[in-house]
Structure 1
């Protein structure tokens, strides 16, 4: 096994890199939309409770697991888990920690490349004079690689490859390169976010027009921060809040394990984990809630926001809103907004490369440069289908299986392994070893009992999601003997393409039927790619096991 010369240069660099890993596009794009769609202020309460009962425990688990595995020279989840519990099978649970990062990076870098492109177009003045509909059409044409409204052939592919090259180059510089980006990117992200948040706070009714005479930015803020207590009893809101924790903290991926594996065995993890976690929460809850929703409400009104809130607002609506400030300020706002999203994206995507690079270095003696460029090539092969077939649903299919289901499965399994197989006695000792803070004793109980139960509920809730997300109605139906009606968004129904097949059965136009049948083919193609990736990584883990056994380093 090649000795690793990688190490973090400073504690500040480590915390910023960890926070950068967590602070991603979801902080600014997904969180405000989830809040709007789940009762505004009612969403914040279960969200914060889930952060304390599930987010913090998972941070403790992953930081301590990674540092523990690093003591034995392991820097990727398969053999980090293998070092915790001796057994052939458990290392294959760790495959999720490499698979998820490769699969998520494949499409995540595509979103990241959008931010690069939009910075360019904001500075160039492409959006000047465009109507809201025109800005939305610009995005639709951008992701349709057969069209180009800017004169750049295959623009989406060009920016995607540029984004991959930048990520790969930085990764080839090792932890020092990642740390340098985090030290520059995180402060700039917070600065850009603060400037835009102040604009959102001071917008007031100045954006109101004859078309939207009742527009008021404060309506958006009031909605986000005023709890509607009746919604707190809705299990759907709790499920959405728990799901957001995965996206916002980057837990259940394996990146935290790998970053922590490069720490000294006596370095603090308790304070580091909490610091990185709360920095992420500040960015998400404070900055994330003060930009998109208030600015959109300030021009288009709260009713429009409630009806149209979605991921696409960042690209299909914000450039139009910035135009209301005049060409010069619009260019500056575009630079700040899409620059902010770019830094949020790249600090996360860089983290996704570390598990693969660490695994290839530990098991096959690959150098940093070879590991980084092989990761870039793997992402290119896996990611181009999400670019070329974006409109056919390949992008969304990756996001569902790799960016949602895989996170929950891995987090659930690793928590059970840490709490019940590795054992809380050893686990608690690892968490508190070298700690610069007194970890509340209650977390020993929470990690062992509360967090695993919450994760199991989330997984089962995703597996058996009820029709129309009506939990109370379906529970009553089940108790009365009328069965449980699955929603098409449940994992079980999604596997069978139930929603698309229902549309095929209801359609009468042969052209529409053909499109839907073609969509199923594309989605199956995406699944084959993802399954093939998982099998490929599992095979590499098995080859590594055989290599370790020959060298006398394997565990049984």
Structure 2
């Protein structure tokens, strides 16, 4: 079989737009404001900034280096780095699969509520409508009773998603990201601008930004900051690694990564301003404080608190459509990036075309997504699966990635060379110290804390048997899948024969290319 020609982004801008589109997801809008508020308000920005510098950016660079140097999705990229690491790559693929099947449902909810916002169908009881009329939610268990209000938008989400996946990187993801990212910024920018004019907006911003300095003495606040940065950047579970593998040979990885990191964090701050300005208005309308509101983060914020707010807000219909359409844009591009990890890994393993891999992967994810989460018990499965796969599955992936690459394989020096060969931001001893010692220790603390909490205290009010099946059971299946797939041979002709480019040769090419660009610019100026 001939070597498979790997797709590539149209250029550096396309790569940056795709990476930012992936990083800016649902969590930026509904998770960050709540996490910040609950962990010291304005004071949280200090550990958040430190986590950004010492964990977010270093791991992002590491993902970029592994993916770009070895030109493959996680399993094959790690195998090319060291044959012992292939199971880690399949662990990341399995984590992405689990996330994709429930993430699509939230996008479907947002799509449905975009339409429902026109008439504000939830009336005066947003919570009753969402959990009762819309989801028809039952207690924890397993039901095969499909809910039409969720089923039809979910089917539409999957049809469009599969169609985009089949088009590949250039015609599919790149074109979608070019539309959805500017649209998302425009929509949410309009929401923020309007929210700042509402009564109580200043009170909301004070609640968000006023620092509680005593919180900085609480270790859990620092753990929360590192945990959030880690989730927010879409790092260490295959997405950024896969996206960088489609970049041009002479890509400026560190420069692009810096733009992506700051772009993602800027949107989070923007989201925090918009969310808390509107929550301040709701608090005034209900004659209470921000503390008195029931839901200020997560699903409850988006589908209970905000609909309640919209019913009392002048112009609530328009703002509601803009808000839920923003969630659709943010969620859809993130869903595509998650599925691309799986599709790319399948292409590497089988030699299939992007269209074939995209169609098969899409259908394989859509069927359980509909069967599990478009049902009357779907909200319970989603809640538990999301908690366990993120706090256990994803963090485990991050810790293993850092420990295996930095301590076992000791690949950081050559990865640093690769980053520096074409990067406008150079990495050195500080970066290697971060990814080798500081970040593994901190993420290890996040993992141990989260795992011990689930073991000792459970999660929510779910029965132990349910957590064992839907939570720990899913983690177990991820591990089994990772090991099983590592024993299957690759059908790509270049899977075993690929040799990473020499950093010195790449650096010389980059220097010559930049020299030619400078000469051309000089002649143009003359």
TM over 0.5: yes
| TM-score relative to the length of structure 1 | 0.81
**After the TM superposition, which of the residue ranges 170-179 and 317-326 deviates more from structure 2?**
317-326
- C-alpha distance in 1, partners of 2:274/2:129? 22
How far the C-alpha of 1:493 sits from its partner, in A, is 2.9
CA contact (8 A) 2:9 2:248 kept: no
Counterpart residue number, 1:56: 57
The answer to whether 1:255 aligns with 2:245 is no
Q: Does 1:120 align with 2:115?
A: yes
- Residue 542 of structure 1 pairs with residue 505 of structure 2: no
Matches within 5 A, 1:204-353: 205=199, 216-285=200-269, 287-301=270-284, 303-307=288-292, 308=294, 309-311=296-298, 312-326=300-314, 329-353=315-339
Does residue 432 (structure 1) correspond to residue 417 (structure 2)? The answer is no
Q: Distance in 1 between matches of 2:425 and 2:231?
A: 26
Partner Cα separation in structure 2 for residue 271 and residue 320 of structure 1: 42
Match for residue 3 of structure 1?
A: 4
- Would the aligned equivalents of 1:394 and 1:522 in 2 still touch at CA under 8 Å? no
Structure 2 residue 432 is matched with structure 1 residue 463: no
Separation in 1 of the partners of 2:393 and 2:155?
Answer: 26
Higher relative contact order (CA 8 A, sep 6+): 2
The answer to whether the aligner puts 1:493 opposite 2:456 as a matched pair is yes
1:144 aligns with 2:136: yes
Asked if 1:370 corresponds to 2:356, the answer is: yes
**Residues 551/69 of structure 1: CA separation in 2 closer, same or farther (3 Å cut):** closer
Q: 1:379 aligns with which of 354, 361, 365?
A: 365
Structure 1 residue 523: Cα displacement: 5.3
1:91-110 superposed matches below 5 A: 91-110=86-105
Looking at structure 2, the residues matched to 236 and 272 of structure 1 have their Cα atoms a distance apart, in angstroms, of 32
| Residues 40-55 of structure 1 mapped to structure 2, 5 A cutoff | 40-55=41-56
Listed one character per residue, the Cα deviations across residues 297-333 of structure 1 (whole Å, up to 9, x for unaligned) are 113249543242232121112123223344xx32221
Q: Secondary structure at the match of 1:174?
A: helix
Q: In structure 2, what is the Cα distance between the partners aligned to 1:362 and 1:445? A: 32
Matches within 5 A, 1:396-407: 396-407=383-394
Q: CA deviation at 1:159?
A: 1.4
TM-aligned CA deviation for residue 292 of structure 1? 1.8
Please give the secondary structure, in 1, of the residue aligned with 2:487. Answer: helix
C-alpha contact 1:55 1:245 (8 A) present in aligned 2: yes
Check the 8 A contact 1:246/1:407 in 2, yes or no.
no
Contact 2:87–2:482 (Cα < 8 Å) also in 1: no
The offset of 1:296, in angstroms, is 1.5
In the TM superposition, residue 341 of structure 1 has moved relative to its aligned partner by 0.9
Other-structure match for 1:162: 156
CA contact (8 A) 1:40 1:227 kept: yes
**Aligned equivalents of 2:495, 2:36: Cα separation in 1:** 53
TM-score (norm 2): 0.85
Match of 2:142 in 1: none
Q: Is the alpha carbon distance of 1:451 and 1:498 closer, same or farther for their aligned partners in structure 2, counting shifts above 3 Å?
A: closer
- Alignment partners' CA distance in 2, 1:305 and 1:137: 21
3-state secondary structure, aligned to 1:317 = helix
Distance change >3 Å, CA 168–CA 534, structure 1 → 2: farther
Name which of structure 1's ranges 387-396 and 56-65 shifts more when overlaid on structure 2. 387-396
RMSD over aligned CA atoms reads 2.6
Partner of 1:135: 126
Partners of 1:230 and 1:186 in 2: CA distance: 38
Deviation digits for residues 507-534 of structure 1 (CA, Å, limit 9, x no counterpart) = xxxxxxxxx76x7247515654564455
- The corresponding residue for 2:520 is none
**Distance between the aligned counterparts of 1:242 and 1:78, measured in 2?**
26
Point out where structure 1 has 5 or more consecutive residues left out of the alignment.
147-151, 206-215, 465-489, 501-515
Structure 2 equivalent of residue 478 of structure 1: none
- Aligned pair 1:84/2:77, yes or no? no
CA deviation digits over 1:110-162, x for unaligned, max 9? Answer: 111111001111134535xx22xx1221111212268xxxxx96111221121
Query: For the residues of structure 2 that align with 1:180 and 1:456, how far apart are their CA atoms?
Result: 38
In the alignment, the residues of structure 1 paired with residue 446 and residue 80 of structure 2 have an alpha-carbon distance, to the nearest angstrom, of 28
Alignment: residue pair count: 482
Secondary structure of the 2:182 match is: helix
Residues 513-552 of structure 1 correspond to what in structure 2 (within 5 A)? Answer: 520-521=465-466, 524=469, 527-528=472-473, 531-532=476-477, 534-536=479-481, 538-544=483-489
Paired position in structure 2 for 1:482: none
CA gap of 1:534–1:375, structure 2 versus 1, over 3 A, is farther
Counterparts of 2:88 and 2:333 in 1: how far apart (Å)? 26
Looking at structure 2, the residues matched to 498 and 339 of structure 1 have their Cα atoms a distance apart, in angstroms, of 31
| 1:472 alignment counterpart | none
Contact 2:223 2:442 in 1 (8 A): no
Instruction: String of CA shifts for 1:526-547, please: whole Å, max 9, x gaps.
Output: 65456445534542332125x5
Distance 1:217 1:21 in 2: 30
SS in 2 for 1:95: helix
Residue 4 of structure 1, CA deviation: 2.8
CA spacing shift, 1:525–1:337, aligned 2, 3 Å: closer
SS of 2:273's equivalent? coil
Match of 1:416 among 403, 407, 427: 403
